[in-house]
Amino acid sequence: MILLHQQIRGAIFTVFVLSSISLQGQTKINYRKDRDKIILTSCGKSSPELTAHNIKALEAIHPGLISKGLYQYYYDLGMSYFTGSIAQNPPKDFANAIMCFKECIRLKKKVGNSYYNLAIIYNSQKQYSNAYECLLNYKMYERKKNWDKAEVLGFEKQLLKHLHKNL
Check pLDDT > 50 for residue 166.
yes
Q: Residue 97 contacts by C-beta under 8 Å, 6 or more apart in sequence?
A: 78, 79, 81, 82, 85, 117, 121
Share of the chain above pLDDT 90, in %: 69
Contact indicator for 52, 88 with CB cutoff of 8 Å: no
Q: How far is CA 165 from CA 95, 96, 134, 140, 149, in A?
A: 26, 30, 19, 25, 24
Angle between helices 2-24 and 48-59 (to 10 degrees): 10
Check pLDDT > 60 for residue 12.
no
What is the rounded radius of gyration, in angstroms, for the C-alpha atoms of the chain? 17
Residue 47: predicted pLDDT: 84
